[in-house]
């Protein structure tokens, strides 16, 4: 469940990523990044545009 | 320091011009005998205690005050006859004694020593953390020892002190507080309406009285206008004690007591020292108020009001008197909680005011500048920032977003009257590796930034977005 008031990332396929800090009042950006990168890097990436 | 200046006048109060036709000025000072002297005019001479001596207008011998003011006494604002000094704030002097010595010449007046009582020391101070203290043994005879400060004070003033006792026993007590004094420094007594020997019959007096057999009890005693003494027993709360730490003779005080006399209330406090949590308690009192326009001295009374079973060592570790003018802003109302005496804080701009469960007040101020993100986005991925709260009161003028991206994309600012903010109020295209910024006028409480990456995934460490509310200039 995403807390929409706190920062999150949305992958191109619409999947959203958010890891909150221990207090639950802000995002844990590093943990969110790790989760996101582990997920979107595994996805097929579009070809770079010229 | 520049001395005060007086203008020479005739009997009617009109300025007397000098040879140059301008009003004559005299600088005023007080000599060692307490006599007020003038200088700066012609002549001048020796002053005499209790009179004002002026420089002679004829430039010869000293003349009495009639020569410059027609016999009318000169009143100097802030002049304290008791001690012959000019006042600064509400305290004539800084008064602080941590008992490196027991100075009965300049600091204290030993008014009387009770029968069977003895004052020794300073003692202690040899062990780490232990300062010296003055030891007053109560003995077992009925009577009292009275110690007065040499300095006097006017309200608002705060007394902080540290004491310990070898025991708490019925019949023996220690009082620390203030008594009203006259210009000579003597206690003004009044028995017109009642007697109050426990506070020396002082017309106005405020004391903490440490008595009884329990180390964690004390009471506030107040006498105003010579009326009956009032008392509030043991309302400090918990966590304070007169039990000493350390090992004899290097005793340590565990508690700081505070007695704050304001114009509209008296605040009593006791709190533990060197503890992470501010143990102890406080309360405010305003049923009787001592006259705030009068002068007071610190008074310490060690009394056996009845024959105690054994002698008690009352130890004075610290007496610290502070001009409390800065506190005299009448925070809120009297009460026995921190909140009741707290200074009001206007909650704006994301400031959160929290009364904690332990009674303290924590203020958390949200930073104005927010580091939104540096996380690289994949192709066509989106960063949605945390919704930022600009507060319910309009103190900010703009919400600003600045950043840079290694890939092209789109940046948006979204606003809302509730969180999350979802209404797009600004949008612009972002060029790769070109700094971007958006500034929007604040017209709602909540804002956030959104960045939609282009078709190329970010790499490296060039992506960064910050945001900030900006106050109106």
B380 to A48: CB separation less than 8 angstroms, yes or no = no
Contact status of B432 with chain A (Cβ, < 8 Å): no
Rg of the Cα atoms in chain A:
12
Number of A–B residue contacts, CB under 8 Å: 59
Higher pLDDT, B104 or A40: B104
Tell me, letter by letter, the H, E, C secondary structure of chain B.
CCCCEEECECCCCCECECCCCCECEEEEEECCCCCEEEECCCCCCCCCCCCEEECCCCCCCCEECHHHHCCCCCCCCCEECCCCEECECCECCCEEECCCCCCCCCCEEEEECCCCCEEEEEEECCCCCCCEEEEEECCCCCEEEEEEEEEEECCCEEEEEEEEECCCCCCEEEEEEEEEECCCCCECECCCCCCCHHHCCECCEEEEEECCCCCCCCEEEEECCCCCCEEEECCCCCCCCCECEEECCEEECCEEEEEEECCCCEEEEEEECCCCCCCEEEEEECCCCCCCCCEEEEEEEEEECCCCCCCCEEEEEEEEEEECHHHCCCCCCCCCCHHHHCCCCCCCCCEEEEECCCCCEEEEECCCEEEEECCCCCCCCEEECCCEECCCCCCEEEEEEEEECCCCEEEEEEEECCCCCCEEEEEEEECCCCCEEEEEECCCCEEEEEEEECCCCCCCCCCEEEEEEEECC
* Residue B109 exposure: Cα atoms within 13 Å on the Cβ side: 13
CA–CA dist B84, B77 (Å, integer): 13
For residue A40, the surrounding DSSP H or E stretch is helix A29-40
Say if CB A17 and CB A39 are below 8 A apart.
yes
CB contacts of A6 in chain B (<8 Å) are: 386-387
pLDDT at B395: 75
pLDDT at B15: 73
A7 to B382: CB separation less than 8 angstroms, yes or no = no
Is the omega angle on the peptide bond into residue B249 within 30 degrees of 0, that is, cis?
yes
Average pLDDT over residues B402-408: 96
Higher pLDDT, B409 or B127: B409
* Residue A30 exposure: Cα atoms within 13 Å on the Cβ side: 1
Split at pLDDT 50, 70, 90, the class of B139 is: very high
Average pLDDT over residues B83-95: 57
pLDDT at B148: 96
Contact status of B375 with chain A (Cβ, < 8 Å): yes
Q: What pLDDT digit, counting tens, does each position of B27-73 carry?
A: 666 666 656 666 665 433 333 333 344 443 333 333 334 444 444 44
pLDDT at B473: 58
Instruction: Please enumerate in sequence order all residues whose Cβ is within 8 A of that of B227, keeping only pairs 6 or more positions apart, or say none.
Output: B193, B194, B288
For residue A16, the surrounding DSSP H or E stretch is strand A16-17
A46 to B384: CB separation less than 8 angstroms, yes or no = no
CA proximity to B465, closest of B366, B350, B351, B377? B377
CA distance B105 to chain A (A): 60
CB contacts of A35 in chain B (<8 Å) are: none
pLDDT at B240: 82
pLDDT at B51: 39
Which one of A1, A7, A16 makes the best mutation probe of the B interface by having the most chain B beta carbons within 10 Å? Answer: A7
B419 to A46: CB separation less than 8 angstroms, yes or no = no
B380 to A46: CB separation less than 8 angstroms, yes or no = yes
For chain B positions 5-34, those within 8 Å of chain A (CB to CB) are none
CA–CA dist B441, B3 (Å, integer): 56
CA proximity to B435, closest of B456, B400, B398, B465? B465
pLDDT at A11: 92
Contact status of A18 with chain B (Cβ, < 8 Å): no
CA proximity to B409, closest of B453, B372, B373? B453
Is the omega angle on the peptide bond into residue B156 within 30 degrees of 0, that is, cis?
yes
pLDDT at B264: 86
A7 to B372: CB separation less than 8 angstroms, yes or no = yes
| Highest mean pLDDT: which range of A45-49, B190-194, B246-250, B273-277 | B190-194
pLDDT at B472: 65
Higher pLDDT, B274 or B443: B443
**DSSP letter assigned to residue A36:** H
Contact status of A36 with chain B (Cβ, < 8 Å): yes
Which one of A8, A9, A17, A23 makes the best mutation probe of the B interface by having the most chain B beta carbons within 10 Å? Answer: A9
Res. B279: pLDDT tops 90? no
CA distance B144 to chain A (A): 58
Q: B419-441 burial, b for 16+ CB within 10 Å, e for fewer?
A: bbbeeebbeeebeeeeebebebe
| Highest mean pLDDT: which range of B1-15, B40-54, B185-199 | B185-199
Q: Which of B55-64, B169-178, B192-201 has the lowest mean pLDDT?
A: B55-64
Res. B24: pLDDT tops 60? yes
Split at pLDDT 50, 70, 90, the class of B311 is: very high
CA distance A22 to chain B (A): 16
Is the omega angle on the peptide bond into residue B368 within 30 degrees of 0, that is, cis?
no
pLDDT at B339: 60
Q: CA of A43: which chain B residue's CA is closest?
A: B378
Tell me, letter by letter, the H, E, C secondary structure of B159-177.
EEEEEEECCCCCCEEEEEE
Which one of A12, A18, A23, A41 makes the best mutation probe of the B interface by having the most chain B beta carbons within 10 Å? Answer: A12
Neighbours of A41 (CB within 10 A): 10
Higher pLDDT, B451 or B343: B451
B455 to A10: CB separation less than 8 angstroms, yes or no = no
B420 to A46: CB separation less than 8 angstroms, yes or no = no
pLDDT at B221: 96
B457 to A45: CB separation less than 8 angstroms, yes or no = yes
For chain B positions 354-373, those within 8 Å of chain A (CB to CB) are 372-373
Q: What pLDDT digit, counting tens, does each position of B94-126 carry?
A: 689 999 999 999 899 999 999 999 999 899 999
Q: Which of A34-43, B166-175, B180-189, B341-350 has the lowest mean pLDDT?
A: B341-350
pLDDT at A20: 94
Higher pLDDT, B157 or B346: B157
The shortest CB-CB distance from B375 to any of A6, A29, A46 is to A29
Split at pLDDT 50, 70, 90, the class of B393 is: confident
Res. B169: pLDDT tops 80? yes
What is the average pLDDT value for chain B, to the nearest integer? 80
Contact status of A17 with chain B (Cβ, < 8 Å): no
Our separate counts of H helices and E strands in chain A read: 1, 2
Say if CB B202 and CB B187 are below 8 A apart.
yes
Q: CA of A48: which chain B residue's CA is closest?
A: B456
Higher pLDDT, B271 or B418: B418
Contact status of A24 with chain B (Cβ, < 8 Å): no
């Amino acid at each position: 469940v995403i807390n929409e008031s706190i920062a999150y990332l949305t992958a191109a396929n619409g999947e959203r990523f958010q890891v909150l800090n221990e207090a639950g009042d802000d995002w844990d950006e590093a943990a969110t990044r790790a989760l996101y990168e582990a997920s979107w890097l595994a996805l097929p990436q579009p070809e770079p545009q010229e | 320091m520049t001395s005060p200046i007086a203008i020479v006048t005739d009997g009617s109060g009109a300025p007397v011009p000098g040879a140059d036709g301008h009003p004559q000025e005299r600088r005023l000072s007080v000599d060692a005998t307490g006599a007020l002297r003038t200088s700066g005019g012609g002549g001048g001479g020796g002053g005499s205690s209790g009179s004002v001596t002026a420089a002679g207008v004829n430039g010869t011998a000293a003349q009495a005050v009639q020569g410059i003011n027609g016999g009318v006494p000169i009143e100097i604002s802030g002049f304290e006859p008791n001690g012959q000094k000019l006042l600064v704030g509400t305290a004539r002097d800084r008064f602080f004694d941590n008992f490196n010595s027991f100075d009965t010449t300049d600091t204290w007046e030993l008014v009387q020593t009770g029968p069977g009582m003895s004052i020794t020391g300073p003692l202690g101070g040899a062990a780490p953390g232990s300062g010296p203290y003055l030891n007053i043994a109560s003995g077992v005879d009925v009577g009292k020892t009275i110690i007065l400060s040499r300095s006097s004070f006017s309200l608002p003033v705060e007394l902080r002190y540290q004491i310990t006792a070898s025991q708490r026993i019925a019949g023996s007590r220690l009082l620390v507080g203030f008594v009203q004094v006259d210009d000579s420094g003597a206690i003004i007594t009044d028995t017109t309406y009642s007697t109050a020997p426990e506070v020396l019959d002082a017309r106005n007096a405020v004391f903490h009285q440490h008595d009884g057999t329990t180390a964690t009890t004390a009471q506030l005693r107040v006498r105003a206008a010579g009326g009956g003494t009032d008392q509030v027993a043991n309302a400090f709360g918990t966590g304070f004690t007169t039990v000493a730490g350390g090992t004899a003779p290097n005793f340590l005080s565990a508690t700081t007591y505070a007695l704050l006399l304001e114009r509209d209330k008296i605040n009593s406090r006791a709190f533990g020292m060197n503890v992470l949590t501010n143990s102890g308690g406080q309360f405010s009192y305003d049923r009787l108020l001592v006259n705030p326009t009068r002068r007071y001295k610190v008074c310490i009374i060690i009394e056996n009001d009845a024959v105690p079973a054994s002698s008690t060592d009352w130890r004075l570790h610290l007496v610290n008197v502070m001009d409390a003018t800065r506190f005299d802003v009448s925070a809120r109302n009297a009460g026995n909680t921190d909140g009741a005496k707290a200074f009001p804080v206007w909650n704006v701009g994301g400031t959160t005011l929290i009364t904690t469960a332990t009674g303290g007040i924590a203020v958390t101020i949200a930073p104005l500048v927010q580091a939104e993100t540096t996380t690289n986005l994949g192709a066509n991925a989106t960063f949605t920032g945390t919704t930022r709260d600009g507060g319910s009161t309009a103190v900010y003028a703009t919400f600003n977003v600045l950043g840079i991206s290694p890939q092209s994309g789109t940046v948006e600012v979204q606003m809302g009257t509730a969180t999350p903010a979802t209404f797009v109020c600004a949008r612009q295209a972002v060029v790769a590796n070109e700094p971007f910024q958006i500034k929007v006028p604040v017209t709602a409480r909540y804002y956030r930034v959104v960045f939609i990456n282009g078709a190329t995934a970010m790499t490296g460490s060039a992506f960064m977005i910050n945001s900030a509310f900006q106050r109106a200039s």
